[in-house]
Structure 1
Amino acid sequence: MYATASVAPARAERARRRRRSQSISAWALLVPSIALIALMVGYPGLTMVWQSFTDYQVRNKIQGTPASFVGLDNFTKILTSSDFPEVLARTIGIMVLTTTLIMIGGVLIAVLMTKLGRAMRLLVSVGLLLAWAIPPLTATVVWGFIFDTEYGLVNWLLNTVTGTNDWHNHPWLLNPWTFVMVLTIIVVWGAIPFVAFTSYAGLGQVPRETLEAAEIDGAGGWQRFWGVIFPAIRPVLGGVLILQIIWNMKLFTQVYALQSRGGIAADTNVLPVYLFRQGIGEFGETSAIGMLIVVIMLAISWYNIRLLLKEDD
Structure 2
Amino acid sequence: MSTPIIDTEVAPQATPQQTAPRTRRRRARGAVLPYLLVAPLILAVVVALGWPLLQQFVMSLQNFGLEQQFGAEPEWVGFSNYAKILTDPTMWIVFGRSILFCAVAASLSMVIGMLLALLLTKVSTWARITLQVTLLLVWAMPALVTMVIWQWLFDARYGLINWILARIGFPDMAGYPWTSTPLGVFTIAAIAVIWGSLPLIVFMIHSALTQVPTEVLEAADLDGAGPWKRFREVTLPLITPAVMIVGLLQIVWDLRVFTQIYVLQQAGVSVEETNLLGTYIYRIGIGQGEYGDASALATVVLILTLLLTWKYIAKMFAQQKEASQ
Same fold (TM over 0.5): yes
More divergent stretch after superposition (88-97 vs 4-13): 4-13
Offset from partner CA, 1:177-210 (integer Å, 9 cap, x none):
1211111111111111211111111111111111
The 1-side partners of 2:31 and 2:216 are apart by 40
More divergent stretch after superposition (4-13 vs 170-179): 4-13
The 2-side partners of 1:297 and 1:28 are apart by 30
Offset from partner CA, 1:246-271 (integer Å, 9 cap, x none):
01011111111111133321111100
Of 144, 154, 158, the residue aligned with 1:137 is 144
In structure 2, give the amino acid aligned to 1:146: L
1:216–1:24 distance in 2 versus 1, CA, 3 Å: closer
Maintained 8 Å contact 2:284/2:291: no
Matched, 1:226 2:260: no
Of 182, 186, 200, the residue aligned with 2:188 is 182
Partner of 2:115: 108
More divergent stretch after superposition (281-290 vs 220-229): 281-290
**Same amino acid, percent of matched pairs:** 35
Partner of 1:294: 302
The 2-side partners of 1:25 and 1:163 are apart by 65
Q: 1:148: Cα distance to partner?
A: 1.4
Offset from partner CA, 1:29-53 (integer Å, 9 cap, x none):
3343222112110101111112212
The 2-side partners of 1:57 and 1:193 are apart by 40
Of 40, 62, 67, the residue aligned with 1:54 is 62
- Superposed, which structure 2 residues align to 1:273-312 within 5 Å? 273-280=279-286, 281-312=289-320
Structure 1 unmatched ranges of 5 or more: none
Matched, 1:263 2:269: yes
1:56–1:306 distance in 2 versus 1, CA, 3 Å: same
Of 189, 200, 210, the residue aligned with 2:206 is 200
Give the TM-score of the pair, scaled to structure 2.
0.88
Q: 1:127: Cα distance to partner?
A: 1.9
The 1-side partners of 2:35 and 2:189 are apart by 45
Partner of 1:240: 246
The 1-side partners of 2:35 and 2:193 are apart by 40
Of 93, 97, 100, the residue aligned with 1:93 is 100
Q: 1:55: Cα distance to partner?
A: 1.3
In structure 1, give the amino acid aligned to 2:202: A
In structure 2, give the amino acid aligned to 1:307: K
More divergent stretch after superposition (259-268 vs 288-297): 259-268
SS in 2 for 1:11: helix
Maintained 8 Å contact 1:176/1:263: yes
More divergent stretch after superposition (166-175 vs 123-132): 166-175
The 1-side partners of 2:230 and 2:189 are apart by 35
Maintained 8 Å contact 2:205/2:242: yes
Q: 1:104: Cα distance to partner?
A: 0.6
Q: 1:113: Cα distance to partner?
A: 1.2
Maintained 8 Å contact 1:74/1:288: yes
Maintained 8 Å contact 2:165/2:174: no
Of 241, 253, 260, the residue aligned with 1:254 is 260
In structure 2, give the amino acid aligned to 1:97: V
Q: 1:124: Cα distance to partner?
A: 1.6
The 2-side partners of 1:269 and 1:80 are apart by 18
More divergent stretch after superposition (237-246 vs 255-264): 255-264
Partner of 1:209: 215
1:204–1:137 distance in 2 versus 1, CA, 3 Å: same
More divergent stretch after superposition (149-158 vs 260-269): 149-158
SS in 1 for 2:179: coil
The 1-side partners of 2:195 and 2:203 are apart by 14
C-alpha RMSD over aligned residues = 2.2
1:114–1:52 distance in 2 versus 1, CA, 3 Å: same
In structure 1, give the amino acid aligned to 2:82: F
The 2-side partners of 1:231 and 1:24 are apart by 32
More divergent stretch after superposition (167-176 vs 20-29): 20-29
Q: 1:150: Cα distance to partner?
A: 2.7
1:27–1:108 distance in 2 versus 1, CA, 3 Å: closer
SS in 2 for 1:205: coil
Maintained 8 Å contact 1:235/1:308: yes
SS in 1 for 2:62: coil
SS in 2 for 1:170: coil
1:25–1:149 distance in 2 versus 1, CA, 3 Å: same
Maintained 8 Å contact 1:149/1:171: yes
Q: When the two structures are aligned, how many residues end up with a matched partner? A: 309
SS in 2 for 1:115: coil
Of 37, 40, 53, the residue aligned with 2:48 is 40
The 2-side partners of 1:175 and 1:300 are apart by 29
SS in 1 for 2:225: coil
Maintained 8 Å contact 2:180/2:267: no
